[in-house]
Structure 1
Amino acid sequence: MSFDQFHLYVRRLQPNWPDSQWSCIWMRRMYEFWKRPVDETLAIDRERLVSFLRYLKSKGVPPWQRQQAAVTAGRYQTMITGEIDPAIQEVVRTLADLAAAQRNGDQAAAEKENHFPDNEPEVVSEMRKTLRRRRYKYDTEKAYVGWVIRLLHFCPNTTPEAITESEIRNFLSSLVTNESGGVSASTLRQAKSALLFLFQQVLGRELGFLEHSEATKPKKLPVVLTRGEIASIRQGLPKNKRLMLDLMYGGGLRHKECRRLRIKDLQIEEGTILVRDGKGEKDRITVLPQSAIADVIKKIEECRTRHQRDLERGEGEVHMPDALARKYPSESRRFGWQWLFASPKTRTDPRSGRHWRHHVSEDYLAKPFTRALQESGCVKNAVPHSLRHSFATHLLEDGADIRTVQELMGHADVKTTMIYLHVMNRPGLSVRSPLDRLKNDSKEAE
């Protein structure tokens, strides 16, 4: 089999993957290393492959690239014989372990999640440790650390232990009275919670005035989109983003819940979605739209193909819940635990320092959603979370029982669900504006 035939083989196997590009690069380098014409078939066994890999190592090529070369040799052998030599497969696994060790560092340290940014103030690192020890979510850690760093910048000449209550009050006041109009009540509450955690849980100081001062949060009605507006926005989205919109609107998912869906959470035969670790760390079951099942199955198969490629490269790990990660460490490579909306690239986990594939970020849908909203001509201040509000409202409009909607939404209190009664469109409502009656009476008088 010639080089050109191998090139066609990997392009047909992986038409849109970067793997096909580096596979061809490594294959050409093998032809050059063994000084063979590119129109000949290469005989590759373990001994010859190891000699090539040792040459690469002598040139300073890192383990992850040597792993790519070994994977390429396995693909070439599969193209010729239909299977890969177990000895070559063992070389691939060995290099995958070396690459993972280089990327992830000490495995025991990774499990303890002691990976911190460089040049970080000591008190901030201590706060991170406390948050992780108490199993706070990473989003909470980011938010709390952000507020503490802002406080330290506000008091640049004072150590954290010496910051007075007066300085803390001035800092919180600056958040409300700044030139941009000040932060919202919920943001101010978050800042207070972060400072309370720092001083009480990390530094062991009591701040009584913060515990008893609460910002008043105004009651606002949720933004709800009509069915026509949702259809217009969906039409304006790129096709690869529409499934996320379908699941959020069709199942009442929060944006983060949808991004964090795993393959095993899609219960296709039952027609349900299992939402794990939602708001308040609660699980619930909601509806899987029948009209979205074909797209879900297609997406799952795409994930399967990507996962097979990751496993071939010695990767394929994802983040696991804490207890399961310790009890079943091998589960992180199983297909059922993979993200439905996986990021196209692997990255380093900010807590553990491990290198693996995460789910997509918030911007994956948020930015295209904003553009589609503007292009649709809708002037409502809607965001992806508005799809969840619309789900509940439209169910109630269609006559669904409010207790059922409460369960699907995951609300602890039915009062939270009842807010959608105030925004639903009720055509049969027998209320007439007094202005309409006034104008009709005036016309009759004329």
Structure 2
Amino acid sequence: MKKERKLLDQLRDKIITKGYSRATEKTYVHWNKAFILFHNKRHPADMGKEEIETFLTYLAVEKNVSPTTQNQAFNAILFLYREVLGIDTADWNIRALRAKRKEHLPVVLTKEEVKAIIYHMNGIYKLMLELLYGCGLRVNELLRLRIKDIDFGFGNLYVWDSKSQKDRIVPLPKKIEEDLKIHIEHVHRIHEEDLSRGFGYIDLPHGLERKYPNAHREFKWQYLFPMKNLSTDPRSGRVMRHHILPTTFGRNIKRAVQKAKIPKKVSAHTFRHSYATHMLQAGIDIRTIQELLGHKDISTTMIYTHIVRSLSQENIKSPLDF
């Protein structure tokens, strides 16, 4: 008799079948494991609405998590019930004490500060940062770019399956077009070498490998910013060239910020905030910026109008200067 797979393994299987990312897999497994341990290892099938509410309230009150983190945990648990256990939660009307949203103005760099940080970036990481800032990308959007997503003919960059599940097109910075072309030629040589050694495999999004069985070795599907070394994919066990890791990119940004002597708390996402602010300062309308950033709701984009307003206070003086 075949032994039934463990619940969290079933969860992993369902996530992979749905075509979700490795990051989503790790997140969903983490929160469901935490949910089960919180309730003394009771099986989720023996729990329900009340236990979910208790756990979510605990996250808000005791762990003081952000609303985003609490929603992440909530979605992970609902996925387990609906997709793995086959339990309909539509009528549960789950009510937990919600984590309070803290309104913070994001850190924004001046154009001169952006240039200074880019100047102190080295090698491929400089081009990555220029593209990140120049297109207003999220970090994961940058790292998941494929060769095919760069369109020199129309001067565009294509972002697929973004955080908002909304595809979008953004203008490609003309300043870095030649550098990008040289880089892509370099990536092509690496891919040709990988193929000659029997490698060259790349993972495809959303089960496209079944639809296009030969696409996983085509150059156009290769990552734009691949790692230096081959690695084993934890899901398939295949040896492949994954994209550069966010931690590696983040360390290089931190080092450049220190060299540029900029006393601000800067992360990769700071450049997306700076992109939006600088676009607004240049007179680009808020709706266009919303489209370029891929925001679902205009209210998310409106935060940058507050930033620009607070930065434009030449006529307001401190009483110390009266």
Bin for the TM-score computed over the shorter chain: 0.7 to 0.9
| Matching residue's letter, 1:227 | K
Q: Which has the higher contact order (CA 8 A, sep 6+)?
A: 2
**Number of equivalences:** 317
Report if aligned partners of 1:196, 1:210 keep a CA contact under 8 Å in 2.
Answer: no
Instruction: Give me the identity figure in percent.
Output: 38
User: In 2, Cα distance between the equivalents of 1:349 and 1:220?
Assistant: 38
User: 1:185 matched to which residue of 2?
Assistant: 67
Among residues 281, 284, 287, which one is paired with 2:165 in the alignment? 281
Offset of 1:159 from its aligned partner? 3.4
Among residues 202, 214, 223, which one is paired with 2:84 in the alignment? 202
User: 2:104 matched to which residue of 1?
Assistant: 220
User: 1:251 matched to which residue of 2?
Assistant: 135
User: In 2, Cα distance between the equivalents of 1:140 and 1:347?
Assistant: 20
User: In 1, Cα distance between the equivalents of 2:301 and 2:248?
Assistant: 28
User: 2:267 matched to which residue of 1?
Assistant: 383
User: In 1, Cα distance between the equivalents of 2:149 and 2:180?
Assistant: 11
User: In 2, Cα distance between the equivalents of 1:199 and 1:324?
Assistant: 27
Does the alignment pair 1:339 with 2:220? no
Offset of 1:129 from its aligned partner? 2.6
User: In 1, Cα distance between the equivalents of 2:278 and 2:71?
Assistant: 32
The verdict on how the C-alpha distance between 1:323 and 1:155 changes in structure 2, with shifts beyond 3 A counting, is closer
Report if aligned partners of 2:56, 2:97 keep a CA contact under 8 Å in 1.
Answer: no
Report if aligned partners of 1:397, 1:426 keep a CA contact under 8 Å in 2.
Answer: no
Report if aligned partners of 1:189, 1:215 keep a CA contact under 8 Å in 2.
Answer: no
The verdict on how the C-alpha distance between 1:165 and 1:282 changes in structure 2, with shifts beyond 3 A counting, is closer
- Alignment deviations for residues 198-227 of structure 1 (CA, whole Å, 9 cap, x no partner): 234433274836356543323332221111
User: 2:292 matched to which residue of 1?
Assistant: 408
The verdict on how the C-alpha distance between 1:281 and 1:209 changes in structure 2, with shifts beyond 3 A counting, is closer
| Matching residue's letter, 1:126 | Q
Secondary structure, in 3 states, of the residue corresponding to 1:127? helix
| Matching residue's letter, 1:278 | S
Structure 1 unaligned residues grouped into runs of 5+: 1-119, 441-446
User: In 2, Cα distance between the equivalents of 1:218 and 1:266?
Assistant: 37
User: In 1, Cα distance between the equivalents of 2:318 and 2:256?
Assistant: 38
Report if aligned partners of 1:123, 1:160 keep a CA contact under 8 Å in 2.
Answer: no
Q: How does 1:405-444 map to 2 (within 5 A)?
A: 405-424=289-308, 431-433=315-317, 435=319, 440=322
The verdict on how the C-alpha distance between 1:169 and 1:429 changes in structure 2, with shifts beyond 3 A counting, is closer
User: In 2, Cα distance between the equivalents of 1:130 and 1:336?
Assistant: 28
User: 1:96 matched to which residue of 2?
Assistant: none
The verdict on how the C-alpha distance between 1:407 and 1:305 changes in structure 2, with shifts beyond 3 A counting, is same
Among residues 144, 148, 156, which one is paired with 1:264 in the alignment? 148
Secondary structure, in 3 states, of the residue corresponding to 1:221? coil
The verdict on how the C-alpha distance between 1:330 and 1:287 changes in structure 2, with shifts beyond 3 A counting, is same
User: In 1, Cα distance between the equivalents of 2:112 and 2:298?
Assistant: 28
Report if aligned partners of 1:266, 1:272 keep a CA contact under 8 Å in 2.
Answer: yes
Offset of 1:390 from its aligned partner? 0.8
User: 1:360 matched to which residue of 2?
Assistant: 244
- Alignment deviations for residues 276-323 of structure 1 (CA, whole Å, 9 cap, x no partner): 222233221111111111211121111011011011112111111335
User: In 2, Cα distance between the equivalents of 1:256 and 1:158?
Assistant: 35
Secondary structure, in 3 states, of the residue corresponding to 1:359? coil
Structure 2 unaligned residues grouped into runs of 5+: none
User: 2:18 matched to which residue of 1?
Assistant: 134
TM-score normalised to the size of structure 2?
0.87
Report if aligned partners of 1:185, 1:215 keep a CA contact under 8 Å in 2.
Answer: yes
Among residues 183, 199, 208, which one is paired with 1:315 in the alignment? 199
Report if aligned partners of 1:403, 1:414 keep a CA contact under 8 Å in 2.
Answer: yes
| Matching residue's letter, 1:191 | A
TM-score normalised to the size of structure 1?
0.64
Structure index of larger Rg: 1
User: In 2, Cα distance between the equivalents of 1:241 and 1:401?
Assistant: 30
User: In 1, Cα distance between the equivalents of 2:71 and 2:273?
Assistant: 24
- Alignment deviations for residues 126-173 of structure 1 (CA, whole Å, 9 cap, x no partner): 222333333333322211100112233334453343347665555445
User: 2:186 matched to which residue of 1?
Assistant: 302
User: 2:123 matched to which residue of 1?
Assistant: 239
User: 1:350 matched to which residue of 2?
Assistant: 234
The verdict on how the C-alpha distance between 1:286 and 1:312 changes in structure 2, with shifts beyond 3 A counting, is same
The verdict on how the C-alpha distance between 1:159 and 1:187 changes in structure 2, with shifts beyond 3 A counting, is same
RMSD of aligned C-alpha atoms? Answer: 2.7
Does the alignment pair 1:326 with 2:210? yes
Report if aligned partners of 2:54, 2:96 keep a CA contact under 8 Å in 1.
Answer: no
Report if aligned partners of 2:132, 2:272 keep a CA contact under 8 Å in 1.
Answer: yes
User: In 2, Cα distance between the equivalents of 1:323 and 1:157?
Assistant: 33
User: In 1, Cα distance between the equivalents of 2:41 and 2:284?
Assistant: 59
Does the alignment pair 1:158 with 2:79? no
User: In 2, Cα distance between the equivalents of 1:202 and 1:340?
Assistant: 35
Which structure features the higher share of helix residues? 1
Report if aligned partners of 2:105, 2:307 keep a CA contact under 8 Å in 1.
Answer: yes
Report if aligned partners of 2:60, 2:98 keep a CA contact under 8 Å in 1.
Answer: no
